[in-house]
Amino acid sequence: NAGVMQNPRHLVRRRGQEARLRCSPMKGHSHVYWYRQLPEEGLKFMVYLQKENIIDESGMPKERFSAEFPKEGPSILRIQQVVRGDSAAYFCASSGGQANQPQHFGDGTRLSIL
C-alpha cells in the first residue's frame, strides 16, 4: 500500500499522559500536513512540514503540541500532558508540493482522553 499510513488507528490516553501520532507520507511525497477534526466540526489545519523543516505551524496550539518530520522515518505529532479537549480525529495528508495538487489523507488516528 503506497498510500498515506497513520498509526495507531485508535489511541487512548489518560489526562496528563503523552500522545504520539505517526504518519508516513505517500511514496514520492515530501510534504506532510496535519489536521484535527473535533466531533461534528470540519478539519482544521495544524501544521505543514517538509523533511526536517516546519514550514508553517500557525494552526498548532501554542503549548503542549509539537511536530517533526525527521530525515529518516515518519512524521510525528506529539501532544504532551493531554487534556479531555484533545480528544479528536487527527488526520495526516501528503502531497508532492505543487499548488494545484490535491492532498491525500491517511486513515487518521482517533485520540480518546479518559
Q: Which residues bind other proteins (CB under 8 A)?
A: 31, 33, 35, 41-45, 48, 55-56, 58-59, 89, 91, 93, 95, 97-108, 110
Phi, psi of 38 (to 5 degrees): -80, 160
Closest CB to other proteins among 19 and 36? 36
Q: Closest approach of Cβ 60 to other proteins, in Å?
A: 12
Residues 6+ apart with CB under 8 A from 113: 12, 13, 14, 15, 82, 83, 84, 85, 86, 87
CB nearer to other proteins: give 80 or 113. Answer: 113
Q: Assess contact for 11 and 19: CB atoms under 8 A.
A: yes
Can you read off the three cell numbers belonging to residue 52? 526536517
Q: 11 or 45, CB closer to other proteins?
A: 45
CA distance 79 to 18: 6
Collapsing DSSP to helix, strand or coil, 10 comes out as: strand
As measured in angstroms, the least distance from the Cβ of 111 to other proteins is: 13
CB nearer to other proteins: pick between 18 and 98: 98
The nearest distance, CB 30 to other proteins, in angstroms, is 11
Provide φ and ψ at 103, rounded to 5°: -95, 145
Q: How far is the CB of 24 from other proteins (least distance, A)?
A: 14
